[in-house]
Homo-oligomer: A and B are copies of this chain.
Amino acid sequence: MATSEPRAAGGEQDPNSANLRPPTTRFLQKNNSLEEKGRLAGQKNLLSCDNSDRDARFRRTETDFSNLFARDLLPAKNGEEPTMQFLLEVVDILTNYVKKTFDRSTKVLDFHHPHQLLEGIEGFNLELSDQPESLEQILVDCRDTLKYGVRTGHPRFFNQLSSGLDIIGLAGEWLTSTANTNMFTYEIAPVFVLMEQLTLKKMREMIGWPNGEGDGLFSPGGAISNMYSVMIARYKYFPEVKTKGMSAAPRLVLFTSEHSHYSIKKAGAALGFGTDNVILLSTDERGRVIPADLEAKILDAKQKVRVFFPFYFFNIIASPCTFISNHISFHLSWVLHLQGYVPLFVNATAGSTVYGAFDPINEIADICEKYNLWLHVDGAWGGGLLMSRKHRHKLNGIERANSVTWNPHKMMGVPLQCSAILVREKGILAGCNSMCAGYLFQPDKQYDVTYDTGDKAIQCGRHVDIFKFWLMWKAKGTTGFEQHIDKCLDLSQYLYNKIKNREGYEMVFDGVPQHTNVCFWYIPPSLRGMPDGDERREKLHRVAPKIKAMMMESGTTMVGYQPQGNKVNFFRMVVSNPSVTQSDIDFLIDEIERLAHDL
């Protein structure tokens, strides 16, 4: 066995002198004896503090951080103790924050305007400098960062589709950060890559694709997941676009609801379709796509022939030469066929952003089958309902989709970010995106390289978004997610029942909400007698922003508002945080009435 001692490393920081050398170079040597011992010992003692060595090592001690700097932490010589003390001090700040997040006697936020924070409130200086700050200052900066932020996990934060602070998910993120690796190869993320694969399969099973077959990836958010769906649809029907560009395809058209997320239009712009070629579909009063409108617009697009060449009419009309004219007509009609509009892709939304509407997937799927179009279901917000036996019927037909976006970071309370793009056809993601970079995806590795995921993605490096979700699923079980979802939907129904006939409230649409979205106007006393008309509309339009500003400034709660179509600003209440109780819903209503009383 070859051995070597570490060479002298003059003037360098104290490297550990031990060199691990296995006794033989066996293939598949399973156990790292040092680690293995630690692990077994750890398992035995994992749940107690009687491992005196470990306990002693990580007990917080009084440490003066004012004379310590980043350079004193690991890998510095003798850096272990300050490193552990610093990390434990940070954890103390974080656990205090976690505790307060769940405490209704704390504010949701401590609002300041940008210029105020930039000026440096109470010494909180955001500017960067050439010289290092002490660890004491770094700890103060951590506290201040949290202090002036927004407690998105607070039970009275209703502002976003993502809310709550799941403790298991949080622990998962802390571990992910510590592992600090990258999803692109099995080589450097073996466990995470497998977790992703198994979790995506489970999600595909819940969608209803046979045996959970198919493909998928976690991507940095629902907008990117939706962008993937458009890319792979294009690749499926016009694979030559990958090499030749959009000019190799006819004019392609995408269809999506006027209530759908703007990311479909954004994908249309980015991928070279153009937003004009993203056709918006009309919806019913609840914000659901009207299938007949989809079919009409498909037919309309197919019939529409874009006159691309200014000489076309000129030739047809002016040509005195029949022979040439006929030939030109023949060829031009071929060209024009290419230049016509070709319907490619339909997005059905399962849980729209504002109304929480579920498009009728089965009826849309019938139309997609009839016209041979790609069906994508954007379940970024509503996908979570697949976990609930009570509510999953709202996504009936999703098993007929070619691709699905589903963000566990929304309705399922997984920490940000966690968004999946799921694809029914295996191999198409890689076909669409692979570039076969030799330095990452070597075909001659010793393991089964089909587990490498990087060539399926539009990213190169890809953050580990899976672990927190996997760990939450382990810890809660499918049934835990189901309870979470059912509870949130019950709460929104509670809100709906509470305000639907209450004085001063008008619902934006009638009927029990499909998702947790409850959309309503609060009508302050001064507007209640006013006849409908422009003046009332203008005044009402200003009510929600004013209430919202007061909410933020008093820091008691947060809820979103927006206009939609011809409807002036209204509140969109959503619940995705299982910490919320009926009393928090009551609080919101009381707070709106308190703040808006004199408007």
Contacts and interface: CB of A to CB of B under 8 A. Distances in A.
B564 A438 contact: yes
A243 B569 contact: no
A15 B320 contact: no
Contact of A320 (B18, B121, B323): B323
A461 B243 contact: no
Interface in A513-561: 542, 545, 548-550, 552-556, 558, 560-561
29 contacts: A4-B587, A12-B582, A12-B583, A20-B106, A22-B555, A47-B139, A49-B60, A75-B578, A87-B95, A87-B98, A114-B186, A128-B478, A138-B171, A145-B179, A145-B191, A149-B190, A150-B189, A220-B459, A221-B460, A243-B276, A247-B247, A270-B458, A275-B435, A309-B331, A310-B331, A314-B331, A319-B324, A324-B325, A444-B569
A86 B179 contact: no
Contacts of A462: 220-221
Nearest to A139: B46
Contacts of A564: 438-439
A179 B149 contact: yes
Interface in A40-65: 42-43, 46-50, 54-55, 57-58, 60-65
Interface stretch (A155-163, A288-296, A503-511): A155-163
Given A46-B136, A467-B145, A87 B191 contact: no
A478 B127 CA distance: 12
Contact of A152 (B146, B181, B439): B181
A277 interface: yes
B30 A112 contact: yes
Contact of A586 (B6, B26, B131, B167): B6
A598 to B, nearest CB: 9
B114 A32 contact: no
A211 interface: no
Interface stretch (A194-202, A365-373, A393-401, A422-430): A194-202
Interface stretch (A259-267, A279-287, A297-305): A259-267
B167 A188 contact: no
Contacts of A277: 244-245
A143 B38 CA distance: 11
Contacts of A35: 100, 106-107, 110, 147
B416 A447 contact: no
Interface residues of A, number: 266
B74 A554 contact: no
B175 A142 contact: yes
Contacts of A92: 54, 58
Nearest to A186: B114
Nearest to A174: B174
B137 A459 contact: no
A191 B415 contact: no
A499 interface: no
A335 interface: yes
Nearest to A560: B439
A160 B7 CA distance: 24
A129 B167 CA distance: 19
Contacts of A7: 582-583, 586
B149 A192 contact: yes
Contacts of A269: 241-243, 432-433, 435
A493 interface: no
Given A149-B181, A554-B29, A459 B324 contact: no
A213 interface: no
A416 B248 CA distance: 37
Counting chain B CB atoms within 10 Å of each CB, the highest count among A7, A97, A176, A244 belongs to A7
A417 B75 contact: no
Contacts of A121: 30
A442 B142 contact: no
Nearest to A72: B167
Contact of A475 (B60, B135, B448, B556): B135
Contacts of A566: none
A390 interface: no
B190 A117 contact: yes
A553 B28 contact: yes
Contact of A275 (B243, B325, B440): B243
A590 interface: yes
Interface string A88-105: 111111111111101111
Nearest to A335: B309
A28 B130 CA distance: 33
Nearest to A551: B25
A388 interface: no
Contacts of A130: 477-479
